[in-house]
Every structure is written in structure tokens, then in C-alpha cells.
């Protein structure tokens, strides 16, 4: 191969790698905390997760000691559950943060399932029921799914016709990003929607987002994830999606494919192929 031709090939390959890198970076830049996959990565950090929980719980004294993202709870005869974020504080209280962008689901029964799965996971053999932890399912939605016109809609339990509280240790709090009522929770949700790495208004959460979007180590972490799913490793990503066996786990894939310019017809074909393969394997 002559030197001129070799130089041309090298130049094309180099240009291709540069464009490929820019392609990945743009996909990362467009992600927000309302994308469940990005939220899992961003909040798989104690300080960032603690910041969010403190605001949503109106309690700056909460100290988070453990965080798990994509926490899988497996059952032999029932459907597995993969929790977006599961965290525990120094008082033994458990917090499950879930992002939901769909509008066609039965949200109430969905949160009921989250509560039940966490309870089943934490009730160990030989323990009494009063040893079960307080569980808070915090359900974050992009829209005002209950039409309350409030950022926060906690579920309260009372005996019929009375104000006496029915306290079973399960707590469900709906938070929506559509309503800005001027509260700290609303400000947090506005940040969730923009996820601007130059906006440092959210303390530890802002630092975590800036790290993932602007600093070398975080960018590499995010690009590696995008690369694995969509560039050269797309088949591996699809296999992971099939193993998950859950439609909602693919929403992050769809968002990233759209962010990276994959047309809707191709996305639809990929999803149809997944459905067909799952039908055969059942």
C-alpha cells in the first residue's frame, strides 16, 4: 500500500473515531434525571442520593448509609422486580426511588408492588413483624398523573370516617415534574428535567451530574455505557434487555437510540424483534 493511500485511510478512520466520539458525547449531554438509566447512574452515589432524599422527605438530618441501583428482587413463581434506586439510612428506614414516564400504567398498583417486594425482601425468617422497616416508595413522574396540581402528593391512610392514621409502615409519595409550586421539591424537579452540568444549585447532586457529563472520569463512564449498548456492542445491550425481560427497562435504550439519531422505524423493528424472540423462548 503506497504512503498516500495509507494516509487517506488513516485520516478517514481518525475522522470516523472523532465523529463517533462526538456522537456519544451528545447522547450523554442530552440525558436528564428523568431518564431512569441516567438517574440510576447519578444516584448510585451516597451523597447525591442523600441530597435528593433529604429534599423529597423534607428532612435535612437524613443520613444515607447504603445505596443500590437496579436492585433486582427475584422470585421463583412471580415476576422479578428491578428497583431503580434502593437506599437505607442510619435509622434503618428504606427508600425506593422510581422514575416513571409512561402514562398508561396503573400507577397505584405499581407502587403497591414496589412496597410489597421491598417488604418481602426485608422480612427475614425468625423476625417479628414489628421489626420490618419503614418503607418509603417515592414515585417520580414527568407529568401530573393524579391531576392534583401539586408537586408532591403523599398518600395518607386513615380509618373510614375518622382522622386516626392507619400506620403500617408503608409510605407512598408521588412527585411530579410538571407542576412548579415554588417549593424546594419543585426546584429539584426542574433540575431533574434540565440536568444542566453548569447548574450547581443542587449541591452534591449537581456535583455528581457535572462529574458524569463534564469531567474525564465521568464522561468515560457514561460513554462506555453508551458504547456497550449502542456502538459495536448493540447486540450485547439487546441481550441484556432480553434477560431483563421488562419493557420499562428498554425505555432508556429507546431514549439513547433517539438521542443518537437512530430513526423511529429502526427502533420499532428492534423492539418487534425482541418481542418475537421472547415469544419463542416462553
- Averaged over successive runs of 10 residues, the pLDDT of the chain (282 residues) comes to 48 50 63 87 95 98 93 58 89 94 78 87 76 94 93 94 92 96 97 96 97 88 66 48 53 72 76 64 50
- Let me know: does 69 contact 41? Beta carbons within 8 Å: yes
Q: Residue 174 gets which letter from DSSP?
A: E
pTM of this structure: 0.71
Domains of the chain, each with CATH number or no CATH: 36-214 (3.40.1350), 217-282 (no CATH)
CA dihedral sign of residues 93, 180, 188, 213: positive
- What does 132-151 look like in DSSP terms, one character per residue? SPPEEEEEEESS-TT---SS
Q: What pLDDT shows up at residue 259?
A: 72
Q: What pLDDT, on the 0 to 100 scale, is given for residue 24?
A: 53
- Distance of alpha carbon 221 from alpha carbon 190, whole angstroms: 25
Q: Using alpha carbons, select from 194, 257, 271 the residue that is nearest to residue 226.
A: 257
Tell me, what's the pLDDT at 17? Answer: 55
Angle at 181 between CA 176 and CA 182, to 5 degrees: 120
Give pLDDT, residue 53: 98
Distances (CA, A) of 15 to 142, 217, 236: 38, 23, 26
- First-to-last alpha carbon distance for the chain, in angstroms, is 53
Which pLDDT does position 87 carry in this prediction? 96
Q: What does the alpha-carbon distance between residue 257 and residue 264 come to, in Å, rounded to a whole number? A: 9
Amino acid at each position: 500500500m503506497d504512503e498516500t493511500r495509507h494516509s487517506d485511510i488513516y485520516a478517514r478512520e481518525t475522522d470516523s473515531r472523532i465523529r463517533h466520539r462526538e456522537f456519544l458525547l451528545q447522547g450523554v449531554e442530552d440525558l436528564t434525571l428523568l431518564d431512569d438509566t441516567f438517574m440510576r447512574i447519578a444516584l448510585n452515589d451516597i451523597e447525591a442520593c442523600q441530597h435528593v432524599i433529604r429534599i423529597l422527605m423534607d428532612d435535612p438530618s437524613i443520613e444515607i448509609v447504603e445505596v443500590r441501583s437496579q436492585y433486582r428482587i427475584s422470585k421463583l413463581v412471580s415476576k422479578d422486580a428491578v428497583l431503580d434506586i434502593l437506599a437505607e439510612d442510619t435509622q434503618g428506614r428504606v427508600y425506593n426511588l422510581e422514575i416513571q414516564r409512561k402514562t398508561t400504567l396503573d400507577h397505584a398498583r405499581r407502587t403497591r408492588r414496589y412496597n410489597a417486594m421491598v417488604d418481602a425482601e426485608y422480612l427475614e425468617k425468625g423476625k417479628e413483624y414489628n421489626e420490618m422497616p419503614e418503607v418509603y416508595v417515592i414515585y417520580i413522574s414527568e407529568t401530573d398523573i393524579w391531576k392534583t396540581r401539586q408537586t408532591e402528593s403523599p398518600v395518607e391512610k386513615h380509618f373510614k370516617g375518622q382522622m386516626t392514621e392507619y400506620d403500617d409502615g408503608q409510605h407512598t409519595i408521588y412527585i411530579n415534574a410538571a407542576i412548579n409550586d415554588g417549593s424546594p421539591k419543585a426546584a429539584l424537579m426542574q433540575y431533574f428535567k434540565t440536568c444542566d452540568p453548569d447548574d450547581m444549585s443542587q449541591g452534591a447532586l449537581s456535583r455528581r451530574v457535572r462529574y458524569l457529563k463534564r469531567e474525564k472520569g465521568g464522561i468515560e463512564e457514561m460513554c462506555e455505557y453508551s458504547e456497550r449498548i449502542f456502538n459495536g456492542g448493540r447486540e450485547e445491550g439487546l441481550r441484556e434487555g432480553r434477560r431483563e425481560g421488562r419493557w420499562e427497562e428498554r425505555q432508556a435504550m429507546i431514549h439513547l437510540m433517539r438521542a443518537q439519531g437512530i430513526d423511529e422505524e429502526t427502533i420499532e423493528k428492534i423492539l418487534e424483534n425482541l418481542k418475537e424472540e421472547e415469544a419463542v423462548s416462553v
